[in-house]
Amino acid sequence: MNMNIRRLYDNLRGKTISVEEIQRFLNRKNDYVHMPAEKIEQLVLGASVAAYGIYPPAFSVYTWNAGEVSADLFTNYHLARFMLDRCPRLKRIVLLYSFYNKGLDLSKTNEKKLSILYSLFIPGIPFRRVSPRSLYWGMRLKIRRYKNLRPNRTPYADGMYFPNIFGTESDMHSILAKHIKTATKYGTAPWQYFLKLANVCRERNVQLVVCFPPQRSDYYKAWQESQDNADLFSRFTSLHIPVIDARNWISDDLFGDFYHLKLDGAKHFSALLEKALPTLA
């Protein structure tokens, strides 16, 4: 083995990716392999706010939770395409959208390894160049070492895998500053994938709904004090896409951290969202 790759491999083994993380993605891949595609009528996309916030049994139609931690619009778009091609009854896609999603490019962040893991494990998501590119090959070597790993849980029938891991950060203003920077750091390229998602939904006659997910009151207040809300929804309404503002729907005691819900919070939010969704044609 090339010594540079060997060092990268050793680094991945010790720091960047754990066996537990490989196991988690292997289990997640198994969810998609065994999903009841012929039953799914509603798909929920988003990052961790969807993974934590959506409780599929609360909805009147069969719902699949495709929330993936740190998923950006590129990931959401390709995952939607994959599901649209395999779910003949799919008639609505709900995107849980945080304001920083418009500029988030996961392949360029400090969590770029997730971009690679999605391309290796989650169906329909292509590989993106990451820097350094050798990270991709190093991760493949790492994963191959554990080629005998098998899924160690039963596939979830509705896609919901509640992470139940919460952050401990308390400085809302520093968190918000980080999110505001993310919204603009990578230019307008990420937003193009939302436009592609809107177009493919229109072509397939699938209703697309955007929902701004719940936020804990201190984070919501920090946002209101630092940003102009006037055009927050205009980029969607100009495309005639329904928008649901759920940012202040949920009381603080149902949050595990500043914008991730506890399981009871997910159940309550999903019940409210079910009532707020526009009628299907």
* Structure-token match 């939607």, residue found: 80
Q: Is 45 helix (H, G, I), strand (E, B) or coil?
A: strand
Class of domain 3-276: alpha beta
Q: What is the pLDDT of residue 13?
A: 45
Instruction: Indicate the domain borders of the chain.
Output: 3-276
Q: Read off the pLDDT of residues 184-240 as tens digits, 9 standing for 90 and up.
A: 777 778 999 999 999 999 999 999 999 999 999 988 888 877 666 667 788 898 899
- pLDDT over 50 (residue 12): no
Q: Read off the pLDDT of residues 130-148 as tens digits, 9 standing for 90 and up.
A: 777 677 777 787 788 888 8
- Amino acid making up residue 23: Q
Instruction: For residue 261, give the DSSP letter.
Output: B
Q: What is the pLDDT of residue 118?
A: 93
Spatial strand order of the sheet with 207-212 comes to 63-65, 42-45, 92-96, 207-212, 243-245
- pLDDT over 90 (residue 98): no
Cβ burial 80-119 (10 Å sphere, 16+ → b, else e): bbbbbeebeebbbbbbbbbbbbbbbbbbbbeebbbbbbbb
* Structure-token match 């820097």, residue found: 131
Q: How confident is the model at residue 99 (pLDDT cuts 50, 70, 90)?
A: confident
pTM assigned to the model:
0.90
